[in-house]
Chains A and B, each alone.
Chain A
Amino acid sequence: MAKKSDNPKKINGFSMQFLPYSEIQYLNSNERIKKILNIVLGNNILILQGKLKSEEEARLIGDTMAMIGHVQGFKGIELAVIGGNGDYSLMDKLKKGIANILIKGDIGSITIIGPATIVKEIKRNPKKIELLLNK
């Protein structure tokens, strides 16, 4: 949990929380988003194994926007999905596809979601990812 200093804008620390895909695998979209937002609202940076469906990502953004102004100090989130779209051979794609069907999700990716008060920016390009934090 991030420690709050006397200055409300300054954060002295933060924590990262890993959520394995098995924790959200059987949850419906509402429950998944609720779980994710609970973690992020606790000032944690969430590292989620796998990724949400694109509809769930859009829903997460919408729910986040609805919270700004209603949850004190909350300014939104930073979100990035890494991996899962590399150049795979046909056989690898097939294997990945079968694995995804069996688990009903894509665990070949990692999703990073952090509160905007802590995470300034997640910079991505094909070769690297940088997590820039607020001072």
Chain B
Amino acid sequence: MEIKVFKNFFKKVFSGIFRNKKEIKLGFYGPPNAGKTSLANRICKDFTGEEIGNVSKIPHETRSVQFKEKVEIKYKGKSMQFKMIDTPGIATKIDYEDFLKYNLSKKEAKTRAKEATQGIVESIKWLDDMDVVVIVLDASENPYNQVNITIIGNLVARKIPVLIVANKIDLRKADVKKIEAAFPEYEVIGISARNGTNLEEFYESVFKLSKKI
């Protein structure tokens, strides 16, 4: 813990000195299938013309940490450079049989399950290396999930600024207010990564948080 405090202290001092040269590590965390890669893709596509990773209806499509460096986000005449880090969705259980429902063969399902468990371990390890984190939640799902609380708790303990995004507001079941009620201490932005809805507000919040580091 003491080492972490020193590490954070030096990180803050040096990032202050070299602020203009450094790119901000922007992590996307959250449960599987919340739309982390969809949001990261939308941003990367808008500002670099390229996507960061594949998306799928099958959970755990992202099974290793994916990066896109030097993404310069421009918003209202200002610009900031980010290293986008898209992480595998964090879960507490993985059952290969759940993937069989999506017409995967038993072998494919087992491989996917194995890679998904490794991806979760990798996601957790990366928590130490983020500057700002966007927690992407599915606005149509129950937010009272311990995984969400655990991720946020870890970021708070590391003093990493957090923004909560309630994705999929285009869905009928979406309830942004429920997410706001579950996390009253944090700013919650309702968006649709698929349709690109409300991204202006999202960029404004990311810029505001990034200035804090």
Q: Which positions in A face B, CB cutoff 8 Å?
A: 53-55, 57-59, 61-62, 64-66, 68-69, 75-81, 116, 122-126
**B147 proximal to A (CB < 8 A):** yes
With A55-B154, A61-B124 already in contact, 6 other A-B pairs whose C-beta atoms are closer than 8 Å:
A57-B150, A59-B124, A61-B120, A75-B95, A124-B144, A125-B142
Q: Digitize B74-109: 1 where CB-to-A-CB distance is under 8 Å, 0 elsewhere.
A: 000000000000000011111100000000000000
Task: Determine the chain A residues whose CB is within 8 A of the CB of B154 once the complex forms.
Answer: 54-55, 57-58
What are 7 A-B pairs at a CB distance below 8 A? A57-B153, A57-B154, A61-B120, A64-B92, A66-B121, A76-B95, A78-B93
Task: Determine the chain A residues whose CB is within 8 A of the CB of B164 once the complex forms.
Answer: none
A55/B92 contact (C-beta < 8 A), A61-B147, A81-B149, A124-B144 known: no
A62/B95 contact (C-beta < 8 A), A54-B154, A124-B144 known: no
Q: Give A25 Cβ to nearest chain B Cβ, in Å.
A: 18
List residues of B (133-153) whose CB comes within 8 Å of A's CBs: 142, 144-147, 149-151, 153
Q: How far is the CA of A65 from the CA of B157 in the complex (A)?
A: 22
Q: How far is the CA of A76 from the CA of B95 in the complex (A)?
A: 8
Task: Determine the chain A residues whose CB is within 8 A of the CB of B64 once the complex forms.
Answer: none
Task: Determine the chain A residues whose CB is within 8 A of the CB of B181 once the complex forms.
Answer: 126
CB-CB nearest in chain B for A79: B146
Q: Give B173 Cβ to nearest chain A Cβ, in Å.
A: 15
Interface SS, B side: helix
**B71 proximal to A (CB < 8 A):** no
Kindly state the interface size class of chain B when it binds its partner: 20 to 34
By the criterion CB–CB under 8 Å, are B156 and A76 in contact?
no
Q: Which positions in B face A, CB cutoff 8 Å?
A: 90-95, 113-114, 117-118, 120-121, 124-125, 127, 142, 144-147, 149-151, 153-154, 156-157, 181
Interface SS, A side: mixed
Q: How far is the CA of A124 from the CA of B142 in the complex (A)?
A: 8
Q: Give A114 Cβ to nearest chain B Cβ, in Å.
A: 10
CB-CB nearest in chain A for B98: A75
By the criterion CB–CB under 8 Å, are B91 and A76 in contact?
yes
By the criterion CB–CB under 8 Å, are B150 and A54 in contact?
yes
Ranked nearest first, the 5 interchain pairs of A and B with the lowest CB-CB distance are A76-B93, A54-B153, A116-B93, A124-B144, A65-B117
Task: Determine the chain A residues whose CB is within 8 A of the CB of B153 once the complex forms.
Answer: 54, 57
By the criterion CB–CB under 8 Å, are A55 and B94 in contact?
no
Cβ contact of A65, chosen from B94, B142, B150, cutoff 8 A: B94
